[in-house]
A and B are shown apart, each in its own frame.
Chain A
Amino acid sequence: MKKIFFFVPLISIFILLLLIGISLLKQDNIFQNNKVKSVLIKKQFPREQILSLNNQKLINLQDNLGTPFLLNFFSSWCEPCKYEAEYLEVLSNKIMIIGIAYKDKETDVYGFLNNFGNPYKKIGSDANGETAINWGVYGVPETFLIDKDGIIILRHAGPITKDVMINEILPKLKEINL
């Protein structure tokens, strides 16, 4: 009986290490580049109507079903957004990009687009941040790739760098024949 007791700490620590090991191996599922992976991946994009930037019409994202597109949350006040502008420009030659101006003013957005280029086919406005929450967004910039069936196949939180474009986004575009 005593001998069994002796092994309790050893066995417990072994189980603990085993669990830590398993969760470390699985961490890739929860975290991606130290960022929490979006749970929306492989799911249909949130159905909603977004007010266009000039508040004059509604943008219905469902209208884009059948065509893959990138959805990019950005702001004129967001520094990293300026940085990713040139790469969005490159990507806009390959895929339609819809921009969502996050907590921004119309005039500021147009100023931003004049300075850094306009890669967007359509621009929606998310004045109070609710659309962003509906997409599980943490902050700007954040970009989603939606395939022709309306399924989110990639989410990138943070600016699109040259590296991200070449190693993450372009290979995914290739996967969907773009």
Chain B
Amino acid sequence: MKNFLLIFFFFLVIDIDPSLTVEPHEIISNPIYENRARDLSKGIRCLVCQNQSIDDSDSDLAKDLRRIIRKKIIQGDTDNEITQYLVDKYGNFILMKPPLYQDTYILWISPLLLMLVGITIMYFTLKRK
């Protein structure tokens, strides 16, 4: 039991900062800039791994994208400008949270529809009982 708890807490602790992929030499010395870079990176998809953000990915492309983001932050670009630059190059697919547009209607509407189905089924089941 003690071992189990130890292991459990170990994983709890190492999971606090899931991004151990950002390498020390990548980090900008200005903490405000670095935080902005980290926040932006969390919203950008690693295109060669697809279900990870570039903040979590160790792939070469993710590293390059992280570097570009940091470079652009230092150059004075705003978060929106940087995101737009990446969308212009790779499309909306690069965003971890795709915006609401024609191709993504289903992503946004389906949970609501399914909730509606669930609520109705629940209503009837409870009523019957």
Contact = CB atoms under 8 A, between A and B. Distances in A.
How many B residues touch the partner, as a band? 20 to 34
Contact of B89 (A8, A37, A40): A40
Contacts of A12: 113-114, 116-117, 120
A136 B88 CA distance: 8
B45 to A, nearest CB: 10
A9 B87 CA distance: 37
B129 to A, nearest CB: 16
Contacts of A117: none
A30 B92 CA distance: 10
B106 A130 contact: no
B9 interface: no
Interface string A3-36: 0011011001101100110110010011000001
A26 B104 CA distance: 11
Contacts of A16: 106, 109-110, 113-114
A36 B89 CA distance: 12
A116 interface: no
Contacts of A128: 64, 67
Given A23-B106, A129-B60, A139-B48, A36 B114 contact: no
Nearest to A20: B106
Contacts of A13: 113, 117
Nearest to B47: A138
Interface in B24-70: 47-48, 60-61, 64-65, 67-68
Nearest to B105: A19
Contacts of A36: 47, 90-91, 93
Nearest to A9: B117
A49 interface: no
A154 B120 CA distance: 49
B74 interface: no
Contacts of B106: 16, 19-20, 22-23
A15 B113 contact: yes
Interface in A102-119: 103
Given A5-B120, A9-B121, A16-B114, A136 B103 contact: no
Interface of B: 47-48, 60-61, 64-65, 67-68, 87-91, 93, 102-103, 105-106, 109-110, 113-114, 116-117, 120-121, 123-124
- In the A-B complex, list the 9 residue pairs whose CB atoms are closest, starting with the nearest: A39-B91, A136-B89, A19-B106, A12-B113, A129-B64, A9-B117, A8-B120, A12-B117, A12-B116
9 contacts: A8-B116, A12-B113, A16-B106, A19-B105, A29-B103, A30-B103, A39-B90, A129-B64, A139-B48
